[in-house]
């Protein structure tokens, strides 16, 4: 036992993910794979993953999620440069100084903003744009690593658990589910908002309890946030900060406009109509604006991750020009920014390998079918167990809708309840699963051991599980 414990003392996150990959490979040798065709479950036998498959899975991992990978690299470039711009440094220091003594308000406020954005925006990774900024401030306020984590990455997990209109995993889940039964994003959205509020309240209780302990502890200095993008002190009061404030405000506005699905969520057609009008404007016979925007330009609400990087790039270029940053410094800081996100990115790629292996050998669908056959009637406990197991291995929640959509649709009038169970349990699993992308990315970013996180979060996870089970029972039987 001591050997096992000591084995995970160093590089624990990588070792835990490698163990998860190993378990997944073993299960492909043990559990038959399966799929649903025309509403009928078909077994494919044991599709064992071998050495060549394991190596190739890493390549496919990068191919499947290249958009997210490129986006995170660009965020690294953005903050690598931005944190060395005088206006940004002065702004972060000013905010941190003004918030001294108001740590609770800062933590709860940041947590609420990140939670709501994650719950509503159609692309979860967009929220990551604002994470380093919040951590920069937390670091300057001398807050501990765990507090910085819970008000950023932890709050993103709260938003995923209480997904209302957002998170690409949830939307892809619905998209695949609609191949079997029409369930819209607005189905039971009031219940999910209630779950979001409940989760935020319970999560905030543990956040404040921890914050009070650390602020009162003499050991606080030992756990101050290790900021990847450390902002140096800059007391030059003559530096203007309003351009940086304006630029970040523009990014925030475009993030909301571009990644809230206005048409499907709220029936607002104005943005689609505006896009059609804008791209149709002509100078003579030529639609010049459509040429400038490009063939892949889409209306607000339908953006992918590539588009927001264009906005960030313009902001970065203007910041460099306004504050007179030398080109050599820009290149050097950009390269340093990339280096700083490499370790979290490696974990992301390794975790995606689990998804690739399950995609090739879908033994989780067989498990889902076995559990479904245990009860002829809808059983919220069985559905919860199924949702937990699939969330552990699928990594990409959308695949759950693809693989198990027929089972969910087979519950008839209770399909909406099953849909809610899958969404919320998937979110709850992200708090503890060794295959949780955001969890491990955030732990690596802030250099927090997995064991320390579990020690912090286990009570929250158990309380939320109990509360969710009560909600599921009420939805199913009342």
Straight-line distance from the first to the last Cα atom of the chain, in angstroms, rounded to the nearest whole number = 47
Cα-flanking dihedrals φ and ψ of residue 468, to 5°? -65, -40
With H, G, I as helix, E, B as strand and everything else as coil, classify residue 283: strand
CB count in 10 Å sphere of residue 290: 16
391-405 pLDDT per residue, tens: 999 998 888 988 888
**How large is the average pLDDT for residues 34-58?**
87
CB count in 10 Å sphere of residue 1: 5
Burial 216-235 (b: 16+ CB within 10 A, else e): eeeeeeebbbebbbebeebe
Predicted local confidence at residue 255, as pLDDT: 94
Whether residue 271 lies inside any domain: the answer is no
- Looking at the DSSP bridge assignments, the partners of residue 33 are 45
2 band by pLDDT with thresholds 50, 70 and 90: low
Whether residue 357 lies inside any domain: the answer is yes
With H, G, I as helix, E, B as strand and everything else as coil, classify residue 35: strand
Task: Report the number of distinct structural domains present in the chain.
Answer: 1
188 band by pLDDT with thresholds 50, 70 and 90: confident
4 band by pLDDT with thresholds 50, 70 and 90: low
- The answer to whether the CB of 96 falls within 8 A of the CB of 354 is no
258-295 pLDDT per residue, tens: 999 888 888 899 999 988 888 888 888 888 888 888 88
Q: How far apart are CA 262 and CA 260, in angstroms?
A: 6
**Alpha carbon 18 to chain centroid distance?**
21
Q: How far apart are CA 418 and CA 240, in angstroms?
A: 53
Residues in the chain: 478
Percent of the chain scoring above 70 in pLDDT: 95
With H, G, I as helix, E, B as strand and everything else as coil, classify residue 249: helix
Predicted local confidence at residue 430, as pLDDT: 95
315-329 pLDDT per residue, tens: 999 999 999 999 999
Q: Which two tokens stand for residue 106?
A: 């800062």
Predicted local confidence at residue 37, as pLDDT: 81
Whether residue 56 lies inside any domain: the answer is yes
Predicted local confidence at residue 309, as pLDDT: 94
Predicted local confidence at residue 234, as pLDDT: 67
Whether residue 283 lies inside any domain: the answer is no
User: Domain range holding 256?
Assistant: 9-37+50-261+301-477
Whether residue 295 lies inside any domain: the answer is no
Whether residue 139 lies inside any domain: the answer is yes
Whether residue 94 lies inside any domain: the answer is yes
Any residues with CB less than 8 A from the CB of 172 and at least 6 apart, and which? 396, 397, 398, 399, 401
225 band by pLDDT with thresholds 50, 70 and 90: low
Q: How much is the mean pLDDT over the chain? A: 89
Any residues with CB less than 8 A from the CB of 20 and at least 6 apart, and which? 351, 354, 434, 435
Please give the DSSP secondary-structure letter assigned to residue 375: -
The reported pTM is 0.92
Q: Which two tokens stand for residue 245?
A: 């404030």
- The answer to whether the CB of 57 falls within 8 A of the CB of 353 is yes
Give 166 or 94, the one with higher predicted confidence.
94
Pairing verdict, β 33-37 and 40-45: antiparallel
- The answer to whether the CB of 446 falls within 8 A of the CB of 148 is yes
**How large is the average pLDDT for residues 189-216?**
93
Predicted local confidence at residue 223, as pLDDT: 61
227 band by pLDDT with thresholds 50, 70 and 90: low
Question: Left, alpha or beta for 225 (phi > 0: left; psi -120 to 50: alpha)?
Answer: beta
Q: How far apart are CA 122 and CA 172, in angstroms?
A: 10
Predicted local confidence at residue 285, as pLDDT: 80
Whether residue 278 lies inside any domain: the answer is no
CA dihedral for 235, 239, 240, 241, sign (positive or negative): negative
């Amino acid at each position: 036992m001591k050997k096992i414990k000591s084995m995970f003392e160093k590089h624990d996150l990588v070792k835990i993910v490698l163990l998860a990959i190993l378990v997944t490979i073993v299960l492909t040798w043990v559990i038959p794979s399966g799929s649903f065709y025309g509403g009928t479950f078909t077994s494919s036998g044991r599709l064992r993953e071998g050495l060549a498959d394991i190596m190739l899975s890493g390549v496919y991992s990068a191919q499947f999620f290249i958009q997210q990978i490129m986006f995170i690299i660009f965020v690294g470039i953005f903050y690598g440069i931005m944190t060395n711009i005088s206006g940004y440094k002065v702004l972060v220091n000013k905010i941190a100084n003004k918030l001294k003594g108001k740590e609770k308000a800062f933590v709860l406020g940041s947590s609420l903003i990140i939670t709501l954005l994650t719950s509503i925006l159609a692309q979860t990774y967009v929220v990551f744009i604002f994470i380093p900024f919040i951590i920069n401030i937390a670091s300057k306020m001398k807050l501990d690593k765990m507090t910085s984590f819970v008000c950023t990455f932890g709050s993103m997990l709260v938003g995923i658990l209480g997904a209302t209109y957002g998170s690409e995993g949830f939307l892809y889940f619905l998209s695949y589910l609609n191949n079997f039964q029409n369930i819209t994003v607005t189905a039971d959205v009031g219940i999910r908002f209630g779950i979001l509020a409940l989760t935020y309240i319970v999560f905030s209780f543990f956040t404040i309890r921890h914050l009070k302990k650390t602020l009162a502890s003499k050991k606080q200095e030992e756990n101050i946030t290790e900021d990847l993008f450390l902002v140096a002190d800059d007391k030059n009061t003559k530096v203007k900060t309003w351009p940086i404030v304006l630029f970040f405000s523009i990014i925030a506005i475009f993030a909301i406009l571009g990644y809230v699905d206005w048409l499907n969520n709220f029936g607002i057609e104005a943005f689609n109509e505006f896009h059609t009008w804008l791209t149709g404007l002509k100078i003579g016979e030529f639609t010049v604006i459509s040429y400038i925007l490009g063939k892949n330009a889409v209306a607000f609400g339908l953006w992918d991750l590539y588009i927001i990087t264009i906005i960030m790039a313009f902001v970065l270029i203007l910041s460099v020009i306004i504050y007179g940053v030398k080109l050599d410094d820009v290149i050097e800081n950009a390269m340093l920014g990339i280096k700083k996100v490499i370790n979290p990115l490696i974990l992301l790629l390794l975790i995606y390998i689990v998804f690739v292996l399950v995609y090739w050998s879908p033994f989780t669908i067989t498990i889902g079918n076995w559990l479904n056959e245990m009860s002829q009637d809808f059983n919220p406990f069985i559905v919860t167990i199924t949702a937990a197991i699939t969330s552990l291995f699928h990594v990409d929640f959308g695949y759950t809708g693809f693989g198990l959509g027929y089972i969910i649709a087979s519950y008839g009038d209770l399909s909406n309840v099953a849909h809610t169970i899958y969404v919320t349990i998937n979110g709850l699993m992200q708090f503890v699963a060794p295959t949780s992308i955001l969890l491990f990315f955030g732990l690596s970013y802030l250099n927090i051991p997995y064991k320390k996180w579990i020690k912090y979060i286990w009570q929250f996870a158990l309380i939320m599980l109990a509360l969710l089970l009560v909600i599921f029972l009420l939805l199913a039987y009342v």
